[in-house]
Amino acid sequence: MPWEEEFVVVQGTSLSLAIGVVAFAMGLCATMASWRVRKIHPAHYLLGGLVMWIVSSYLWSRSPDATIVKARSSVQLLLMTWLIWEFAPTRKRLQALLAAYVLGSYVSAVSVLYAFVTNSGSNLGIVEGRYTAAGFDENELGVTLALAVVMSGYLLALDQGYRVLWLVHIPVAVLAICLTGSRGAFITTCIAIAIVPCSFASFTTRVKWMVALGIIILCSAAIIVIPHGSWDRIGTIHNEVAEGTLTNRTRIWAAGLEVYREHPLLGVGSGAFGDSVYSRLDIPYVAHNSYLSILVELGTVGATLFAAVLGTLMYLITTLSRLQRRAWFVLLATWCVAVSSLTWEHRKPTWFLFGLLISESAAIRSRSNRPQADLASGVLLAPT
């Protein structure tokens, strides 16, 4: 997932989509073979309701073709959350999924570093000091890596195997994010780095010293390695926020709000934001803000459903253990800040996080209820 855009099977089909289709087919076969399906979590019904509303918006969409594309993507993402729920019921499997995401982000981060060292790549704005992996938008790649930074800190705090991988990943990913020159990703990374102080008490003494050394190396490398062009662009954050248009985002948001006032209840249809603001901006921009995108495309009804999803996820975080609660709060906060400047409500990392958090809360509950269930049957098993 973190490097899906770098490899394409056929034109318009990424490797991750092909793997996802195979994974769903195998999961369906496994379910049919066992004739056992895990009871769906209430949060899945909210996600399902949101997807149904997205699909239904085709009936009044201002851009039916775009709605079909987004609706198809949403159904696929909902199935992905089901796969996570069905086949990752334990904390061990969920942590393995987090580890897989981090390892995948290594590919993209190293690709950015390679592009910087060799001054190569088809997506580069080298004059502006912006570097990225092939097929990736700099802003989206930066956020993808920022989420992985939080996961690395969490895995490090869990004292899992391969600690060196999680420790090394943090400075590598942060350097790659800075090289993208993405201001939104830089702000998001500042939130993501909060996982280090939040998890510091859970580190072993050896890991604490390693983290301290890693911070020194990261700061030194950032000063020495990252070009002035990247720092100059990141340094414009204050001026853009205070006096600028956030790279035309404020104009896009104003146009989107005008459209919402004309279609407040149902919206203009999923995926139709660009067509709806075209007459005002002369360019079919995407919203560059997931909250506004949902509000304009799905109206008040869709925005309420999405708010219910986020509210439920926040509640689920409160049911977790202390370390998990801190890690998931930072992870969700990182996502919330990131999507304020990106249209990410239909992207895989978003639904991957939603699916993981739902399964994580259920894994904690089933673990805490196990002793009571065992006592009720007259047998108390040793904790595992």
Tens-place pLDDT, residues 10-38: 655 666 667 777 777 777 787 777 677 78
Q: How far apart are the first and last CA of the chain?
A: 31
Q: Classify burial at 11, counting beta carbons within 10 Å of its beta carbon; exposed 0-12, middle 13-18, buried 19 or more.
A: exposed
Q: Tell me the sheet residues that pair with 365.
A: none
- Overall average pLDDT of the 47-68 stretch: 96
Q: Give dist(CA 281, CA 255) in Å, integer.
A: 8
Read off the tokens for 241: 């926020």
| 256 has pLDDT over 90 | yes
pLDDT on residue 121: 56
Q: Indicate the domain borders of the chain.
A: 1-37, 44-87+249-363, 90-230
* Band (213; pLDDT cuts 50, 70, 90): confident
Stronger pLDDT, 256 or 371, i.e. the higher one: 256
Angle at 204 between CA 369 and CA 358, to 5 degrees: 35
125 φ, ψ (degrees, to nearest 5)? -105, 70
10 three-class SS: strand
Local confidence band at 367 (pLDDT 50, 70, 90 cut-offs): low
How far is Cα 255 from Cα 279, in angstroms, rounded to an integer? 9
Q: Please give the C-alpha separations between residue 219 and each of 164, 194, 211, 274, 344, in angstroms, as whole numbers.
A: 19, 16, 12, 40, 30
Residue 342: is its pLDDT beyond 80?
Answer: yes
- Lowest-confidence segment of 97-101, 181-185, 329-333, 350-354 by average pLDDT: 181-185
* pLDDT in the model for residue 276: 93
Instruction: Write the pLDDT tens digit of every residue in 316-335.
Output: 999 998 899 999 999 999 99
Q: Taking 90 as the threshold, does the pLDDT of residue 46 lie above it? A: yes
Q: Is the pLDDT of residue 219 over 90?
A: no
Alpha-carbon distances, residue 153 vs 164, 213, 236 (angstroms) = 11, 15, 29
Confidence at 380, pLDDT banded by 50, 70, 90: very low
Q: What is the sign, positive or negative, of the torsion defined by CA atoms of 222, 224, 230, 236?
A: positive
Both tokens of 204, joined, read 């072993």
DSSP-H helix ranges across the chain: 15-34, 42-56, 64-87, 91-118, 138-157, 163-180, 183-192, 195-199, 205-225, 228-234, 237-242, 249-262, 273-281, 290-318, 322-338, 348-376
pLDDT in tens, 164-195: 899 889 999 999 999 988 889 999 999 999 99
Question: In a 3-state reduction of DSSP, which class is residue 343?
Answer: coil
Question: What's the pLDDT at 221?
Answer: 78
- Per residue in 68-88, pLDDT (tens digit) is 999 999 999 999 999 999 888
Region 107-127 average pLDDT: 75
d(CA 106, CA 113): 10
Answer for the pair 234, 178: CB distance below 8 angstroms, yes or no. Answer: yes
Residue 47 has pLDDT above 80, yes or no: yes
Give CA–CA dist 168/258, Å, rounded: 47
Question: Does the structure show a pLDDT above 50 at 379?
Answer: no
